[in-house]
Structure 1
Amino acid sequence: MTDDHPLATVETLALVALGGFAGANARFVVDQGLSGLPTGLVGTLVANVCGCVLLGFVLYEEVHVGVFSRQLRVAIGTGFLSSFTTYSTFAVQTATSAPLLALANVGANYALGFAGVVIGRWLALSFAAEVDA
């Protein structure tokens, strides 16, 4: 089936929906698991950083290995990670925090997010080396 076939569009939408369902539930589990902490900022930070690691892995896996199918990348990248990570919650939590906490939150999300992508890239390159071996 080609990408322009009508069923390919339905399949893609279904994969995004299933990934989104799984990502939203995973995000809920993360928030519940960290509920003992004094602020929701930590749950958002954890989800965003984990999402950056996974997206970095998925994107670099595609470039260097290519083992995962396009469908799997769509389900994970667009579906799961779009629901698991959240910019809107990060923005609202930051805007409603005290100035120093807001600044720390922005710094942590961006610094750890970029570090997460680098870690994901490293994992993908390690995976590529294993596949090539």
Structure 2
Amino acid sequence: MRLAPAVFLGGVVGTALRFGTDLVLPHSADQFPGGTLVVNTLGAFVLGWLVAGLWTRPAVPQWIKAALGPGLLGSFTTFSAVMVSLVTLVSAGSWALAAAYLAVTLTLGFAAAALGLWLGARAAGRAATDAGGTP
């Protein structure tokens, strides 16, 4: 139960960052949801970096991991926002834009996570192949 305040505080920060991004990168129902794409790509990268780098260090307290992972990044990035954007684009008749958005979201998300894992492993002083826990 001691981790709950850390997740809560991380969530407050992540939500504020997400709201700020939506203010800086607004879009209408028939426009490409660039803010959501930026947020989720950045979140995938940071989570990959944390998992391969910071999370592997025994000295890092659990409350830090909880605050940054499920707290900050869990509230900053949202799968539901991707789905709402897709449904909104389709409802507006922008099928091609919706398909492009989904393709770009998946491609950039996986690429950003892979890059984050690789850089996190390098920062932790391990080979990239060791980032997944395999010897």
Match for 1:93 among 79, 85, 95? 85
Query: Given the alignment of the two structures, is residue 41 of structure 1 paired with residue 33 of structure 2, yes or no?
Result: yes
* Larger helix percent: 1
Per-residue Cα deviation, 1:9-33 (whole angstroms, up to 9, x for no partner): 1x21100100000000001111122
Segments ≥4 residues shifted beyond 4 Å: none
Percent pairwise identity:
32
Find out whether 1:29 has 2:59 as its counterpart.
no
Could you state the TM-score of these two structures normalised by the residue count of structure 1?
0.81
Output the amino acid matched with 1:25. Answer: A
Matched, 1:79 2:79: no
34-43 or 94-103: bigger deviation:
34-43
- Whether the 8 Å contact between 1:56 and 1:119 is mirrored in structure 2 is yes
**TM-score of the superposed pair, with normalisation by structure 2:** 0.80
Q: Quick one: distance in 2 between partners of 1:30 and 1:40?
A: 15
Matches within 5 A, 1:101-116: 101-116=97-112
Counterpart among 102, 106, 118 of residue 114 in structure 2: 118
Unpaired runs of 5+ in structure 2? Answer: 127-135
Relative distance call for 1:15 and 1:99 in structure 2 (3 A) is same
Residues 59-87 of structure 1: CA deviation (Å, up to 9, x unaligned): 11223x44532211111110011110011
Query: AA paired with 1:117?
Result: A
